[in-house]
Amino acid sequence: MRTFKPSLFLPVLGLALTVGTVPRTAQGAAAVWDAASGQTPDQIPPAYTLFNVNAPPPSLSGGMLTMTSSVGANDIVGYRHPAAQLSVPADLRIEARLRLDSGSSNFTNRAPAGIQFVTDSGAKNILWVDQDLIFLNAAGDVRGPSAALDTDGAFHTYRIEVTGTAVGSPVNVFYDNGAVPVLTATLFPSASPAEISWGDLSEAVGGVSQWQHFEHNAAIAPEPSAALLIAAATPLLLARSRRGRGGKSRSGRSSVFTPRSHPVLLHT
């Protein structure tokens, strides 16, 4: 006869009660990273996820984060908040301070540094930073409006404001805290889930970009509730109980948990 052991659930219950007292991220709170903190974007709360395919790791030094890639090397590198973490508001604001040291692209609708924003409603756009030129994309993912501005002589602040989440919602880009937008476009259709990502977003480009600051106001998903935590932990506790009776589940197979990785989408 199987005996229920309350002691198995006490650690989980204690953790669940603790989670219930942890302050949640406020709706619309900014997710802010600054190089002056001495931490990389994946080390702060809420952490950005580093993606890196065939590129050198980002380097934090001298108050800036440097990302390096090569044209034609099929490499991408940067940081992102994926759909599982995001609740994109109707008044999305993204702000970045960066300098493009050098770079080039094999395609006119891509540039060495980019900031991509995809809403929950299947709509997106991307701000690209090229040599003394910035531009947004347009429907069909082609190159859209552009502005000739200094991008490599010094660090500059780029603020993106999106009003609405659906296709056709207006996108405005401001430069160095100016009152008038230097770029105006709209969101266009996307089959991708919600995401905010920044860095070298395409294997068609290469270069060196230096970043001092990045933030956005999309809400980060709250921590799981106590009830959900207990529900998620129950199968693991049962598996632990079975292992205590010989290390096998009733089917005869070992109870082993294998984490599943999430592939990074290459933005061609």
Helices (H) and strands (E) in the chain, counts: 2, 18
Mean pLDDT of 58-76: 91
CATH number of the domain bearing residue 74: 2.60.120.200
pLDDT at 57 over 50: yes
* More reliable by pLDDT, 211 or 20: 211
Return the beta strands (E) in 6-155 as ranges.
31-34, 49-53, 59-61, 64-69, 76-82, 86-87, 91-105, 113-118, 123-130, 133-138, 142-147
| pLDDT at residue number 229 | 40
Range of the domain at 194: 31-220
pLDDT at 225 over 90: no
Residues 237 and 182 in one domain: no
Residues 75 and 186 in one domain: yes
Does residue 254 belong to any structural domain of this protein?
no
pLDDT at 200 over 70: yes
Residues 76 and 15 in one domain: no
Number of domains in the chain: 2
* More reliable by pLDDT, 26 or 81: 81
What residues form DSSP beta bridges with 111?
none
pLDDT digits (tens, 9 = 90+) for 141-189: 999 999 999 999 999 999 999 999 999 999 999 999 999 999 999 999 9
Which residue type is seen at 23? P
pLDDT at 268 over 90: no
Structure tokens, 203: 């294997």
Residue 30: pLDDT band (50, 70, 90) is confident
Residues 205 and 96 in one domain: yes
Q: What is the distance between the alpha carbons of residues 58 and 77, in angstroms, rounded to a whole number?
A: 8
Residues 189 and 174 in one domain: yes
Are 99 and 89 spatial neighbours (Cβ–Cβ below 8 Å)? Answer: no
The pTM of the full predicted model, rounded to 2 decimals, is 0.74
Residue 219: pLDDT band (50, 70, 90) is confident
Structure tokens, 268: 């061609």
Residues 11 and 105 in one domain: no
| pLDDT at residue number 93 | 97
| pLDDT at residue number 23 | 32
Token pair 């701000």 is found at 127
Q: What is the distance between the alpha carbons of residues 226 and 125, in angstroms, rounded to a whole number?
A: 37
Does residue 251 belong to any structural domain of this protein?
no
Residues 195 and 237 in one domain: no
* More reliable by pLDDT, 2 or 192: 192
